[in-house]
Amino acid sequence: MNRSDMVALKAKEIKKEVQRELEGRLDIDDEEVLKIIDEKIRIKNRQVTLHLSEKLSMRKDIFNAMRRLDVLQELIEDPAITEIMVNGTHSIFIEKDGGLIDTGRSFDSKDRLSDIIQQIVAGANRTVNAAQPIVDARLKDGSRVNVVLEPVALNGPILTIRRFPKIPIDGEKLIAMDSVSREVLGFLSRLVEAKYNILISGGTGAGKTTFLNVLSGYIPTTERIITIEDSAELIIQGIENLVSLEARNANVEGCNAISIRDLIKTALRMRPDRVIVGEVRGSESIDMLQAMNVGQDGSMSTIHANSAADALSRLETMMMLHTEIPIGALRRQMASGIDIIIQLGRLRDKSRRLLEIREITGYDNGEVQSQILYRFEETEEIRGRIMGEFRKLGSLKHREKLIKAGIDGL
């Protein structure tokens, strides 16, 4: 047995001893747990001499297993990691610097992984079990969590954690990252101020929530804002009159669920100046669009789609599945409710970019009409980094809201 295997074996022995000592002691604090771990390590050190680095690593790992998120804790504390993917007990992958990496870590058993999942889900006031094997939740730091259990997940409990920066990304950071140009962001900031209804579109990991957070920073601080999310992720700063609502899953009996659609209907009775919906993915699209059409100008939301045209198509499909309103009437509502679609994407160099800004210009011949205002166009690739520029391809047609807000110059 080599030394690393021997140290790992001793760590497992200590962990079991600490678990036995802590069993049934619910009132013990973290400091006392660390004292117990230190004492066990000191005793074990008599049997085999441990280096200082080994003791410290062992202390940290055992404490994380007892009081934190076990092998995930160190990954969660690494600010460079943007995604953690637990594939059952067999492997843990991470996304770091835009690439996927196998950490070589794993959980000792399915029971231990299940305990961690239940700890996370309970902390977010959610429930996950065999009867309800899929759930979305969040950690205390705002990280997004998705859980899929057996029998849906064939290779054991699956846990995916999407992490967000501790310091929210602002417009200046997006410009520094070449995600957007100063001209384009200035244009969008004035649209937000003038209360244009904006839909942010993009694929998974394109940065939709981040961009929505940035745009919300341009909302006048005097307004009353209501945010509605399936799992709270938005970080709205500078707004004092802010109400945050979060959907609730059904309980174990399948009752008492509160949907995004329920929350939108409630929000409209709370005297909002704007309603911000984290993401539309179902029947709530109808209520969101109605809100945009009946006075909640300046509302914003996100949608999964590969292009601005696809975003309209997806929105249309969502509404058709949940209403009997004729297609022509739906498209008229879309044309009158949505002002701007912002398309985001990830390029082959893993960079996140604003790809297109499209204005909805009206409804004609049974179709929603639109025009491209700005588009990112690639110019070259330097050492694996895609370079390009944001080109203005059109001028804003509907300027009524700008005029009403006393904003000009676009």
* The predicted structure's pLDDT at residue 31: 80
Q: Which stretches does DSSP call E strand in 291-339?
A: 300-304
* The predicted structure's pLDDT at residue 163: 86
Burial readout 252-287 (b: 16 or more C-beta within 10 A, e: otherwise): eeeeeeebbbbbbeebbeeebbbbbbbbbeebbbbb
For residue 123, give both structure tokens: 């902390």
Are 323 and 333 in contact by the 8 Å Cβ rule? The answer is no
CA distance 284 to 357: 24
Q: How many CB atoms sit inside 10 A of residue 313's CB? A: 13
* The predicted structure's pLDDT at residue 251: 63
For residue 17, give both structure tokens: 């001893």
Domains (ranges, CATH) in the chain? 1-62 (no CATH), 69-166 (3.30.450.370), 171-405 (3.40.50.300)
- Whole-model pTM? 0.80
* The predicted structure's pLDDT at residue 297: 92
Question: In tens digits, what is the pLDDT along the chain, a chain of 410 residues?
Answer: 677 777 777 777 777 787 777 776 667 777 887 888 888 888 877 777 778 888 888 788 777 777 778 888 889 889 889 899 999 988 999 998 778 899 998 888 898 899 899 988 888 888 888 888 998 888 887 788 999 999 899 888 999 999 877 777 899 999 999 999 999 999 999 999 999 999 999 998 899 999 999 999 999 999 999 999 987 788 888 899 999 998 887 665 556 788 888 999 999 999 999 999 999 988 889 988 888 887 789 999 999 999 998 999 999 999 998 888 899 999 999 999 999 999 999 998 889 999 999 999 999 999 999 999 999 999 999 988 899 999 999 999 999 999 998 887 66
CA 315 to chain CA centroid, nearest Å: 20
* The predicted structure's pLDDT at residue 393: 95
Q: At how many degrees (to 10) do helices 284-293 and 308-322 cross?
A: 110
Calculate the alpha carbon distances from 297 to 43, 129, 233, 289, 300 in Å: 67, 41, 22, 11, 9
* The predicted structure's pLDDT at residue 252: 58
Determine if the peptide bond prior to 151 is cis (ω within 30°). yes
* The predicted structure's pLDDT at residue 255: 65
